[in-house]
Amino acid sequence: MTRRLVPALSAVAALMIGLPAAAQDFSSIGTQYMDFGSSMMSVGQMNNVLGSTVQRGGRTRSQAARPSAGASLSAQRNAAAVSTRYRPSPAVSTRVRGQFADFVAKRDPTNGDRLRQAVQQKDLLGAWEKHVAVDGLRRGDVADAMTAYWVQNWQIANNVPFANRAQVQGVRGQVSQALGSNPAFARLDDAGKQEMAEVFMLNFVAQGSAFSDAAAKKNTTLSRQLSEAAVARFRNEMSIDLRQLKLTEAGFTR
């Protein structure tokens, strides 16, 4: 089954705020080069870990299952043993949601009160889950949240409306491998994993909603700004050119 970027996200925007002009409220957020939470050490580190994997060409899931000549078998076993799942805590969600509300209000002071109210009152994480379920992604897993974020930014950067489940799952394989082999991620507790995942999820909703609204209104100027912002985020934070990547069933390739 294929997932279409724009119409599906328009539905998410309506679900989020329930007002006709809902998604446009996030346009100023979507055009920001800097993500919410991008300065968090864990988020930045994990984005760079995956970025390094993509830069090296990354291995497919079937290749990753076979020991390479230079790889340590024990290291591979340790990576496989690291879980990307976490037990969610309502307290962590409340804290992250509050930080996100502060973030969006600060970047769009004119609509700050309205944005803050929307973030605090609407189920943004539920909207995220409803949108990505078609690709086999779910809440409670850092790899799923990070996968959705990377795929969507690639789609926005390249103005590609469709990504199929096999392609998304290919990226998830890359993400899972990258996280599982990183000692810093292995040291995270459930709260740390949840915070990271929800940061990715909230950025996904805000950026995707802004892009879908611009596309639905045929606002080519804003669409182009949002696309350039996605490119800039990955170039500035990870030294990755999203427009030089291909999305395949093996994940991202150069």
Rounded Cα gap, residues 11 and 63, in angstroms = 38
Residues present in the chain in total: 254
**pTM (2 d.p.):** 0.82
Helix (H, G, I), strand (E, B) or coil at 3: strand
Q: pLDDT tens digits for 148-165?
A: 999 999 999 999 988 999
pLDDT at 137: 97
pLDDT at 27 over 70: no
Backbone phi and psi for residue 83, each to the nearest 5 degrees, phi listed first: -90, 140
Work out the mean pLDDT of the chain and round it to a whole number. Answer: 80
Helix (H, G, I), strand (E, B) or coil at 141: strand
Say whether 84 sits in a helix, a strand or coil: coil
Distances (CA, A) of 165 to 63, 80, 148, 251: 20, 22, 11, 11
pLDDT tens per residue, range 192-246: 999 999 999 998 998 888 888 888 889 899 899 999 999 998 988 888 999 999 9
